Amino acid sequence: MKDSFQRRVDLPGVQNIRDLGGYPTGCGRTTRWRRVLRGDGLHRLTPDGFDALSASGLTSVMDLRSEAELANDPNPFMNHARVTFYHKPVYDDLAPALMATQEAGEDDPLIQFYLSALIDRGEAIRDILSTIATAPEGTLLFHCTAGKDRTGLVAALLLEVAGVDRETILADYSLTGDFIHDLVEELLDQTRANGGDAEMHARFLSCAPLTMSATLDQVTQRHGSISNYLKDIGLEAGDISALRDRLLGD
């Protein structure tokens, strides 16, 4: 993607904050810049990075991590005077979901991990998207730890709602791999230090386009389309329209 390094919001301490703007849609429009950002763990922001992000027009932050992750690494925007903070965990506890996919022994364990979020946690996904739809005007940033899996799923659904083509959605997903090399090494070092299986962990840290493609294909097979999936999990038509307006509106 030619604009990948313009797309990245370069802030000290974080590696993977990116703008969902600038993507063409099937209706001939383009997603707007600085409406929705996707990111990695904001607890890594330096003081300068935090100040720069706070002053950038940011009005909302949504943390997709679990209660335990938030407790271990508090979000710096939890009590911000001007930024509305939402804690909307995709999983109540990340560990059981990861364990289930590890035990499945699949070639690509991420696919089952992603499906467990979209299918088993449909109510949480609905709540996340509904909250994004109704959040205050201005820039909204949603994030998890690496900005890859939970964040990647939400980003893919938002771009689907906006009418961005599948190839572009997959490219946006895999773009994470260009930016999180240092974070991947840090996480693998932690795994090795704790006596874990670094080889298995590395499989969970990849972001091949085929992973997201297979996930969205399976959801489409189950529900007929991504639009039907959103309706089936209970997302209101008004929220879908509001999401589209947030991404495309003037």
Is the pLDDT confidence value at 14 over 90? yes
Q: CA-CA distance, 62 to 85, in Å (whole number)?
A: 6
CA distance 191 to 184: 11
Tokens of 77: 């925007």
Is residue 208 within 8 A of residue 174, CB to CB? The reply is yes
What's the CA gap between 202 and 214, in Å, rounded? 19
Higher pLDDT, 191 or 175: 175
**Inter-residue contact 41 to 143 (CB < 8 Å):** yes
d(CA 196, CA 9): 33
> How many angstroms separate the CA atoms of 49 and 13, rounded?
7
Domain limits for position 192: 4-248
Q: Which has the higher per-residue pLDDT, 14 or 249?
A: 14
Give how many domains the chain has, as a whole number. 1
For residue 127, the domain's CATH number is: 3.90.190.10
CA-nearest of 209, 217, 205 to 179 is 205
Question: What percentage of the chain has pLDDT greater than the value 70?
Answer: 93
| Whole-number average pLDDT of the chain | 91
Q: Among 115-119, 126-130, 185-189, 229-233, which is the least confidently predicted range?
A: 185-189
Q: What is the pLDDT of residues 86-137, one digit of tens each?
A: 999 999 876 555 555 555 456 788 999 999 999 999 999 999 999 999 999 9
Q: Tens digit of pLDDT for each residue in 75-88?
A: 999 999 999 999 99
State the virtual CA torsion across 205, 32, 128, 153 in degrees, nearest 10. Answer: -30
Give the angle subtended at the CA of 84 by the CAs of 187 and 11, to the nearest 5°. Answer: 45
Q: Mean pLDDT over residues 155-181, rounded?
A: 96
Task: Give the residues across from 104 on adjacent strands.
Answer: none
Of 5-19, 44-58, 166-180, 187-201, the one with minimum mean pLDDT is: 187-201
Query: pTM (2 decimals)?
Result: 0.92
